[in-house]
Amino acid sequence: MAFYSEKVMNHFQNPRNVGEIKDADGIGEVGNPVCGDMMTFYIKVKDDKLEDVKFKTFGCGAAIAVSSMVSEIAIGKTLEEAMNITNAMVAKELGGLPPNKMHCSNLGATALHKAIEDYKNKQKEKK
């Protein structure tokens, strides 16, 4: 496992914020076209900030580590700040990913952004 950074291994073995938010304000789901793995993010929003973020990832170790890191970075951020989180940023925070695993990092921030968009659409519907 030498090609995984310590941070990746840590987040894979002890993923933070795993689970589902039953009354989520927004849900974002993405599939990885390369391998078929799936990731779902659930968000709770309060005062324009991400109060809680949880995820369920049906995928490889790198995808789990990426989801865990995204959730950790995102909690407490404003919606705008969270929209500025990029997949590359997450991979960097994890101390990098092996080149053949970079495609796994493409899910994380995208799923989070989709959950935020879902929340915004729901807000519009309410108005």
Cite the active site residues: 35, 104
Q: Does 60 bind ligand FES (CB under 6 A)?
A: yes
Binding footprint of ligand FES, residue count (CB under 6 A) = 8
According to DSSP, the residues that pair with 43 across neighbouring strands are 26, 53
By C-beta, is 35 or 121 nearer to ligand FES? 35
Q: How far apart are CA 108 and CA 112, in angstroms?
A: 6
Using CB under 6 A as the binding rule, the residues of this chain from 17 to 56 that contact ligand FES are 32, 35, 37
> How does DSSP classify residue 35?
T
Q: What mask of x and - would describe binding to ligand FES in positions 67 to 106, judged by CB under 6 A? A: -------------------------------------x--
Scan for tokens 């369920």, then name that residue: 56
Q: Let me know: does 111 contact 30? Beta carbons within 8 Å.
A: yes
Q: How far is CA 106 from the centre of its chain?
A: 10
Which positions touch ligand FES (CB under 6 A)? 32, 35, 37, 59-60, 62-63, 104
